[in-house]
A and B are shown apart, each in its own frame.
Chain A
Amino acid sequence: MKNRIKVERAEKGVTQQELAEAVGVSRQTIVAIEKGYFLPSTPLALKIARYFSKPVEMIFFLEEDD
């Protein structure tokens, strides 16, 4: 699963730390999600989408092999 969290952050002008605090995880977790090393749970994906005021499928996308 790919995501565009980094792009959304840049557009909104928020740091990884600020996003991490807003959704209640550590900065390490945001780094791992952005790099695709860690897949967030549905509640966390929804929290991230809500933070950017966008539907979850605008932030996270399925890949061919998913």
Chain B
Amino acid sequence: MKIFLFPHRFQFIGWCIFIPAIIGAIVSRFDFMTIPQWAMTALNDAIIIGAVLGSVFIVCSKERDEDEMIGALRLATLMNMLYVNTLLVVTGTLLVNGAEFVEFLIMNLFLMPILFVVSFRAEIRRQHKQAENEKQD
């Protein structure tokens, strides 16, 4: 089965979208800004789309040394994140109720892309380190 991946340059574009979106998400939690409702709605939309789209670009762009092991790592990360997400949603549904549940769902919207990016990049880094530690022979 052929899996579509974005060209490598999308990884940089992804970081350029993802980081401002995450910073924006954190900053917008504090109510020190007095901006019109329509601007707040547009900002929220931009933050959510930025975080989700940015994370997809980061993780689903070809690595410089893309090969079948990187592909396998990517799929394994996605699978692990599905389990983590399921566990979080089940726990949240049982423990959080009312208006707080909506808040929890919004948090979950950001947590998944962050975990996906961090987990995949950490795994790639681990593989590089392992190869570095292995004496070149």
Number of chain A residues close to chain B: CB under 8 A: 19
**A9 CA to B130 CA in the complex, in Å?**
19
B37 at the interface (CB under 8 A from A): no
CB pair A38 B137 closer than 8 Å: no
Total contacts A-B at CB 8 Å: 43
**11 interchain pairs, CB-CB under 8 A:** A16-B134, A16-B136, A16-B137, A24-B67, A25-B68, A26-B65, A27-B131, A28-B65, A28-B130, A32-B131, A37-B130
CB pair A26 B67 closer than 8 Å: yes
Shortest distance between the CB of B50 and any CB in chain A (Å): 31
From B67, B136, B137, A29 is in contact (CB under 8 Å) with B67
In the complex, the chain B residue whose C-beta lies closest to that of A44 is B68
In the complex, the chain B residue whose C-beta lies closest to that of A9 is B137
Interface positions, chain A 9-56, Cβ under 8 Å from B, are 9-10, 15-17, 24-29, 31-32, 35, 37-38, 40-41, 44
Shortest distance between the CB of A22 and any CB in chain B (Å): 13
CB pair B131 A38 closer than 8 Å: no
